[in-house]
Amino acid sequence: MNPAAAIGEGTSRHTGIQLKSGSVRKIDDEVVREHRFRLYLNDTFFSDVVASNDLLEELGAGFVICEGLADSVDSIKTTGNEIRVYADIRDPMEKELRSSGCIGVHRVPRLVTSDLTITISDVYRITREIETDIWRKTGGVHCAVLFSGGEIVVKSSDVGRHNTVDKVVGFAELRGIDRSSCVIGCTGRQPAGMVAKSAHAGIPVIISKAASTDRGIAMAEATGVTLVCFSRGDRFTVYTRPDRIRDLPELV
C-alpha cells in the first residue's frame, strides 16, 4: 500500500484491493482526512478535537452553543491547529468523553420554544440535501444541513457527527440567523447527547436519516424538540411534537 498523497485539505488517495462480484482488482481510492485541533475557551485549553479541516470558526462557535456553555459567542480566532472561542462561559464545565470519542459537557437543555412549522414536502426536500461532495467522493463523513427561511443556508461534512451539527449551528450564530426558525437535517444517530445539542441551540426540529435511542426520544420530549428519524426516500418517523409538521395526516 502506498503512503497518502494529499488532495487539498479534505481528502487523500490510497491504494486498495477491491473484491466485487467475485473479481479482485487494485483501486486508487479517495479517502477523507482527519485533523486534530486544540480548542481554547477564553484562552484556557479545553480539549483536543478531531475534525475535518473546514468551517473551523463555525465549529468552535457551534460547540460552545450546542454544549450549553454560552448562548452566544463574542469572537473567535483560528490559527494553525488552534481554535480560540471567546464567550460568556457558564461555570462549572464538567467534561465527559462520549462513546463516539467526542468531548461533551454535562448541561441540562432548556425548553425549546418556537412557532416554526414545516410541511411533509419540506422534510423530503431537506432529507435530499443531506449530502456533500466529499461524502459522495469518499462515503467517509457525516453530513448536516441548516434549513431557514425556506432555503438550505449551509451544508457541512465532518469525520464526526457531532461536529457537523456544531458547524451549522456556528454558521447561524456567526451570521445572526434566528436559530428558533431553523431545522437541522443530519446523517447521524440521535442519542440524548445529539438531541441536546439542538435543544441547547434552540433549534425546534431535527430530521435525521438515522435512528434515535430511547434516551434521545426522551430528551426530545423533555425539551420540546420535534424529532424525525429514518428519513429516507418516501418515509420518515416522527417521535415527538408532530404538530410542527402541519400537513401530517391524523391517525385513524
Domain of residue 192, CATH code: 3.40.140.10
Give DSSP secondary structure letters for 205-232.
Answer: EEEESS-B-HHHHHHHHHHT-EEEEEEE
Asked if residue 111 is part of any domain, the answer here is no
More confident of the two residues 169 and 4: 169
pTM of the model: 0.89
Residue 8 has pLDDT above 80, yes or no: no
Position 32 in a domain: no
The answer to the question of residue 142 being in a domain is yes
Distance between CA atoms of 150 and 140, rounded to whole angstroms? 29
pLDDT tens for each residue of 21-49: 999 999 888 888 899 999 999 999 999 99
Q: Is residue 6 part of a domain?
A: no
With respect to residue 105, please indicate whether it lies within any of the assigned structural domains.
Answer: no
Give the residue numbers marked as catalytic: 102
Query: In this predicted model, what pLDDT tens digit does every residue of 164-190 receive, in sequence order?
Result: 999 999 999 999 999 999 999 999 999
In a domain, 52, yes or no: no
- Please check whether residue 126 lies inside any domain of the structure: yes
Number of independent structural domains in the chain = 1
Q: Which residues contact 186 (CB under 8 A, 6 or more apart)?
A: 130, 142, 143, 144, 145, 161, 164, 165, 206, 207, 208, 209
Range of the domain at 168: 120-244
* Residues 46, 226: Cα–Cα separation, whole Å: 31
Rounded-to-10 torsion of CA 81, 200, 162, 212: 170
For residue 155, is it within any domain? Answer: yes
Q: pLDDT of 179-233, one tens digit each?
A: 999 999 999 999 999 999 999 999 999 999 999 999 999 999 999 999 999 999 9
CB neighbours (10 Å) of residue 10?
19
β-strand pairing of 82-86 with 35-41: parallel
